[in-house]
Amino acid sequence: MLFKSNFGPGVSIAEPTNYFPTGNGAWQYITGTDQETGYTWPISALGAEFSGVQLITREIVDSSTIGNHITNHVRSVTGPKGKPVNELFQNVKLKEPAGQAFAQAPLLIKGHGQRVM
């Protein structure tokens, strides 16, 4: 296990930022220290400088339109033994034809010396 965090109190995901020069995506940074486990974002186990979500779309987006394609947030859900825990909820929205996804939202961890746009 590289890390253990349930996105508890102290962990947050920022608004999309650093929109790609091509206009078809952005980044969302995950930061903070999980007050329940003590694990931090970015993930220090990998010497990471970045932990977050890469938002990729087929269409050109900006801060006013990216939510039409992808939304991410931390939300509370019922976890083991009925206790509430937080999770990273990702909603990649579907469009016609045939419900095809026109977007992706992979969770990425970038270590030293690697390049993130």
41-100 pLDDT per residue, tens: 887 666 777 888 888 888 899 999 999 888 999 898 898 889 888 888 888 886 666 656
Percent of the chain with pLDDT over 90: 21
**How many CB atoms lie under 10 A from the CB of residue 81?**
5
In whole angstroms, what is the distance from residue 30 CA to residue 5 CA? Answer: 12
Q: Map residue 98 onto helix, strand or coil.
A: coil
**What pLDDT sits at residue 4?**
65
Provide the terminal-to-terminal Cα distance of the chain, rounded to the nearest Å.
27
pLDDT at residue 2 tops 60: no
Residue, of 117 and 99, whose pLDDT is higher: 99
Radius of gyration of the chain (CA): 15
Name the token pair of 19: 């929109």
pLDDT at residue 28 tops 90: yes
**What pLDDT sits at residue 42?**
80
In whole angstroms, what is the distance from residue 75 CA to residue 88 CA? Answer: 7
**What pLDDT sits at residue 117?**
45
In whole angstroms, what is the distance from residue 10 CA to residue 64 CA? Answer: 27
Q: Map residue 73 onto helix, strand or coil.
A: strand
Q: Map residue 115 onto helix, strand or coil.
A: coil
